[in-house]
Amino acid sequence: MHKTILKRCRIISSEGVIEDGYITIEEGTIVDLGRGRPTEYLGAVIDLEGYSVFPGFIDTHIHGIKGLDVTSHRDPEKILKMAMHLTEYGVTSFLPTTVTAPYEDLLEACRSVREAISMWRSTEGARILGIYFEGPYINPEAAGAQNKLYIRPPDLREFRDLVESCGGVVRQITIAPELKGAESIIAFAREHGIVVSAGHSNASYEEGLRAVGLGVSKATHIFNGMRRFHHRDPGIALAMLQLANVYIEVIADFIHLHRAVVKMVIDYISPDRAILVTDSIAATGMKDGIYELGGLKVIVEKGICRLADKGELAGSTLTMNRAVGNIIALGYSLSSAAKMSSLIPVKSINLEKHRIGDIRRRNKADLAVLDENYRVIKTIVAGEIVYEI
């Protein structure tokens, strides 16, 4: 039986911090952990003195990385390359995310993700949790960096065909709930276990409340791509924040949201509802330059992505380890950061049964080893070291 012991490390879980701890891994599963030394040392021993072990990060909103893009590079091998690149940043599971695109492109993207899932092994990098459609049924008035050429009204027949053709890998969709026809999409999605997130929406506060009643359970990158908040017209953002059964995506790069707003949001909803996401594009991990997102030209300067023609933000180059470092710099505990970057993302897409997202006995040994500057030293997936410096 393959056994690995991590020793002399700080263990960060959703329940607290264990100093000078150990984690025992057998056949890809955490079988024991605690303070001090394990009772036996049979197996490979890795000394991690001076390092912190977090649950592997789970990015549930990511379009691309290192020149690769989910929507345009519709190839299972490219998805697997993304999976490996993500381990450099401590990510052990992710939800490949498309942007608004023609039906045929979305179908091909879905098939590539499905094939990549069937090909995936723990040595291939981060787990692939399914596919996330950000659009195409969104409000053109709140398009942001979504290509308006491909935005279309909610079409249940089209969406049903897409879901059925994808073979069960559709995990989440962003929709503008105020649009005519959105209600039937939301109902169909919920019946088929697909999480519905409200975003790229010009919905009012009242329309936001109604959407949650219909089955919306997440908010896509809060405040971004939403009707602007006003004290006499709070819009959908406040509705999403107020309702306790809604999870909230937060892009903690301090560009999409001012750092004070990030703190205000998390303080208000608590870390139990906050999901750290990157919304990263192909420029992530690359030099500044010109890139593409959904057929739109994006200029990246000093790591900030903007549409070439309108100057609007177009995704990010944020990585999950940087997001975690930013959150901790705001004063949140290590455990809270672990929740928001791992456990809550899993809960938000109803995948707790996969036993990922936290450091617990019987959970999969998906771990990120970080130094004091939140640089990734090692990434472990199912007990296998898939990345190390």
List, for residues 297-354, the tens digit of each pLDDT value. Answer: 999 999 999 999 989 999 999 999 999 999 999 999 999 999 999 999 999 999 999 9
Residue 71 near residue 63 (C-beta atoms within 8 A): yes
pLDDT at 245 over 90: yes
Show Cβ contacts of residue 114 under 8 Å, excluding neighbours closer than 6 positions.
131, 166, 167, 169
pLDDT score for 53:
98
Q: Which of 272, 318, 338 is nearest to 56 (CA)?
A: 338
pLDDT score for 41:
74
Domain 3-53+369-388 indexed as CATH 3.40.50.2000: no
Residues of the chain with CATH 3.20.20.140: 56-357
> pTM score, two decimals?
0.97
**What is the CATH architecture assignment of 56-357?**
Alpha-Beta Barrel (3.20)
Q: What span, in angstroms and rounded, lies between the C-alpha atoms of 132 and 137?
A: 13
Residue 43, judged by CB atoms within 10 A of its CB (0-12, 13-18, 19+), counts as middle
Q: What span, in angstroms and rounded, lies between the C-alpha atoms of 370 and 109?
A: 33
Whose tokens are 């017209």? That residue is: 233
Residues of the chain with CATH 2.30.40.10: 3-53+369-388
Residue 53 near residue 359 (C-beta atoms within 8 A): yes
Neighbouring CB atoms inside 10 A of 238's CB total 18
Neighbouring CB atoms inside 10 A of 47's CB total 11
> Which residues does residue 292 pair with via DSSP β-bridges, in sequence order?
297
Q: Which of 254, 140, 257, 248 is nearest to 198 (CA)?
A: 248
Please give the mean pLDDT across all residues of the chain.
97
Whose tokens are 């109902």? That residue is: 187
Residue 306 near residue 296 (C-beta atoms within 8 A): no
pLDDT per residue over 2-48, tens digit each? Answer: 899 999 999 999 999 999 999 999 999 999 999 998 877 778 999 99
pLDDT score for 1:
56
pLDDT per residue over 52-108, tens digit each? Answer: 999 999 999 999 999 999 999 999 999 999 999 999 999 999 999 999 999 999 999
pLDDT score for 155:
98
Q: What span, in angstroms and rounded, lies between the C-alpha atoms of 91 and 114?
A: 19
Strand 44-47 and strand 3-13: pairing? Answer: parallel
Residue 54, token pair as written in the block: 């977090």
Strand 367-370 and strand 52-55: pairing? Answer: antiparallel
Measure the CA angle with vertex 318, ends 363 and 234; round to 5°. 95
Render the burial of 174-200: b for 16+ CB within 10 Å, e for the rest.
Answer: bbbbbbeebbbbbebbeeeebbbbbbb
What angle separates helix 235-242 from helix 259-269, to the nearest 10 degrees?
Answer: 40
pLDDT per residue over 179-230, tens digit each? Answer: 999 999 999 999 999 999 999 999 999 999 999 999 999 999 999 999 999 9
Residue 64, token pair as written in the block: 């691309």
Q: What span, in angstroms and rounded, lies between the C-alpha atoms of 107 and 8?
A: 47
pLDDT score for 38:
86
